[in-house]
Amino acid sequence: MSAYKLFESVQFPNAQLLVSALAEMGYEAQVGEAIKLSWGSQTAQIVVPASQIPNCGYDLGFVWTGTAYVPIIEDWAASTVLDEAWRNRLQATYAKLAALVFCARKQARIGQVQTLPDGTLTFSATMEVRVQ
């Protein structure tokens, strides 16, 4: 039986944005009620199959906690292939998409979006406000 890590500090409240962030990183996630992971007896609602993760051999799951999706990763993979740098990149991609959605809802025009090496996003947005 494989050991696993549940990263409760890494939270993604919106499933659609999470799936989009994974897609932007090159993964095609499966979405369902309880998808069985390729290791142990764990299930998750969002799964990136092991076949899409080079040099890994383990599925990456995201489990709904009631407020957010959190990664569930096989212990070995969490310390090697899907390490903290990878999780930070996913968080930055998710945050970028969330910011773009927010700006679109506010009808703001967005300038160039840039992700800095530390994961910080920089972009400019302008909104037209009419005062009557």
Number of domains in the chain: 1
Could you tell me whether strands 69-74 and 4-6 are parallel, antiparallel, or unpaired per DSSP bridges? antiparallel
Q: What is the pTM of this model?
A: 0.81
| pLDDT of amino acid 63 | 95
Examine residue 77 and state whether it is found in any structural domain, yes or no: yes
Those residues with Cβ within 8 angstroms of residue 114's Cβ, 6 or more apart along the chain or in another chain:
121, 122, 123
13 located within any domain? yes
Residue 120 located in a structural domain: no
76 contacts: CB under 8 Å, gap ≥ 6:
2, 58
Per-residue pLDDT band for 124 (boundaries 50, 70, 90) equals confident
Structural domain contains residue 130: no
CB atoms within 10 A of CB 120: 10
> Domain residues for 65?
4-106
The per-residue pLDDT for range 29-88, each reduced to its tens digit, is 999 999 998 877 889 999 999 899 888 888 999 999 999 999 998 888 777 777 888 888
Instruction: Give pLDDT, residue 49.
Output: 93
